[in-house]
Chain A
Amino acid sequence: MSDTETLTRLSTADADGESVTLTVNGERHALRLAPWVTLLDLLRERLHLTGTKKGCDHGQCGACTVLVDGVRMNSCLQLAVMRDGCEITTVEGLAEGGRLHPVQEAFIEQDAFQCGYCTPGQICSAVGLIREGHAHTAEEIRELMSGNLCRCGAYTNIVAAIEQAMGEQAMGEQPAARGDGR
């Protein structure tokens, strides 16, 4: 185990749970987890990464969206034990060296939120969408962001923010896209 590995043992139920290794925002965690712990609860309750939000807990809102090996998923419906060995990126892991991710910058510049509750999920989802590379028009962005609901109705500015971030990437400010789905 390297120095950066953390051994987290938080409840007796977990002490005899499954051993799971996850890299979260670049940091490796060797964990023992009961199989019913969802990825969302692991992130929020055990690793104290509360940026990822719980909206519905049933796959219906997208507030819990994170990247699993670079692919966006609803963390509320993922059992953490099943993602053993994966790299997880949450909203806390997008900035690099104190510099916000271009999607985060664009959300601020375009004022793409009101209360902010859906925003971490929106941002992770937008990063996933850009990597997937299937959205080219505002209409396609809207459709492929439909898995993220916003109760404040900030949709118009969210689309504008993603268009801005996509434009910056097209001009070569972003590293090459990774394939989706794998």
Chain B
Amino acid sequence: MNRFGYSRAGDVAGAVRERAANGAAAFIAGGTNLVDLMKENVARPERLIDVTRLPLRGIEEREGGLRLGALATNAEVAYDERVRARYPLLSSAILAGASPQLRNAATTGGNLLQRTRCYYFYDTATPCNKREPGSGCPAREGVNRIHAILGTSEHCIAVHPSDMCVAMAALDATVRVTGEGGERAIPFAEFHRLPGDTPEIDTNLGRDELVTAVDLPAESFPTHYTYLKLRDRLSYAFALVSVAVAMELDGGTIREARLALGGVAHKPWRDREAEALLRGQAPSPELFARVSDATLRDARGFGGNDFKIGLARQAIRRALSQAAAGTPQSQTDKRVQ
């Protein structure tokens, strides 16, 4: 770890001011991603601004939905009675991620901003455009089993590793941020970016901006939902492919449907055209196969991750039928039904 200075932010304005004044300073919350990256010398902040004492830990009712404070831990959100009852998709996705110890420390804001687990990004002995812009992307020709199949660029094929974010994307959450210019709200779909030719930039958060909360809208999908996560072992492993589905059925037809994928792109992946195929239709295996094929129409592998295309195709169909039937994937009994 490099040597760095430390300060404890007393209020949001002070935290933002300090970060704006020092481009080499970083916010730290649960520390479960940043401390790890600092130990690997991938992140070398000059100064850490500890935001954990800011009053941003609450989970509050708001306009029929919920506001999750940026410092609410992953465990607090997943086990909150209102989240469990009204947004079980979010609770399920969080509980599918990391470990209980990590979820006790990890925060909502930190989870949004966690960085990719690409092996080359972590290994400072290799080039990596995300770590060192312009140095190249060894993953394209190298070991790329965990890498993206959608939305890649010639500069980077990394994936965003979060489970929580996949559910938030499906729920059309909003990220609330505060910077020197004041507050703003960023629709979830616009928060994370595709790599394009600037893979070093993961999100559209401004350099001086602090995430203060994530707002969940009133529409919560309490019955027809699932979070299906497929990985190399049954727990405590990042997703190879994950699928979040939220549906609202009206009699025998699908009134509203959301489909978000994790582990396949640089951001939680949503395809609104493919989702639209579901609306107004009766659930059926043929319909789900069509939607799955449409979602993956532009998917491409890089050798080691070719298997993800077939895996995602099956996972989407299975998740859609789990959600339609109201039989969500259990995060304890790992059998996929």
A residues lining the B interface (CB < 8 Å): 18, 34-36, 38, 57-59, 62, 65, 71-74, 77-79, 81-82, 125, 128-129, 132, 134, 137, 139-140, 143-149, 180-182
Q: B13 near A: Cβ within 8 Å?
A: no
Interface string of B21-62 (1 = CB under 8 A from A): 000000010011001101100000000101010000000000
Dominant SS among interface residues on chain B: mixed
- Contact of A181 with B331 in the complex, beta carbons under 8 Å: no
Residues of A within 8 A of B234 (CB): 146
- Contact of B99 with A62 in the complex, beta carbons under 8 Å: yes
Query: In whole angstroms, what is the CA distance A119 to B48 when docked?
Result: 33
User: Nearest Cβ in chain A — how far from B207, in angstroms?
Assistant: 22
- Contact of B332 with A73 in the complex, beta carbons under 8 Å: no
Q: B1 near A: Cβ within 8 Å?
A: yes
- Contact of B48 with A35 in the complex, beta carbons under 8 Å: yes
User: Nearest Cβ in chain B — how far from A89, in angstroms?
Assistant: 14
- Contact of B6 with A18 in the complex, beta carbons under 8 Å: yes
Residues of A within 8 A of B6 (CB): 18, 35, 79, 81
Given A18, A82, A147, A181, which contacts B102 in the complex, CB threshold below 8 Å?
A147
Residues of B within 8 A of A82 (CB): 28, 31, 50, 52
- Contact of A140 with B332 in the complex, beta carbons under 8 Å: yes
Among residues of B, the one whose C-beta sits closest to the C-beta of A147 is B99
User: Nearest Cβ in chain B — how far from A144, in angstroms?
Assistant: 5
Residues of B within 8 A of A62 (CB): 99, 101
Residues of B within 8 A of A74 (CB): 32, 101-102, 105
Q: If A72-B104, A144-B100 touch, does A79 touch B31 (CB 8 Å cutoff)?
A: yes
Query: In whole angstroms, what is the CA distance A144 to B79 when docked?
Result: 13
- Contact of A36 with B36 in the complex, beta carbons under 8 Å: no
5 smallest CB-CB distances across A and B, nearest first, come from A147-B99, A35-B6, A146-B235, A181-B76, A147-B101
Q: B232 near A: Cβ within 8 Å?
A: no
Query: In whole angstroms, what is the CA distance A132 to B79 when docked?
Result: 10
Query: In whole angstroms, what is the CA distance A54 to B264 when docked?
Result: 33
Listed A/B pairs (14) with beta-carbon separation below 8 Å: A35-B6, A35-B48, A38-B35, A57-B39, A59-B102, A71-B104, A72-B100, A72-B101, A77-B32, A79-B48, A128-B100, A128-B104, A134-B79, A181-B76
- Contact of B333 with A77 in the complex, beta carbons under 8 Å: no
Residues of B within 8 A of A149 (CB): 236
- Contact of A73 with B39 in the complex, beta carbons under 8 Å: no
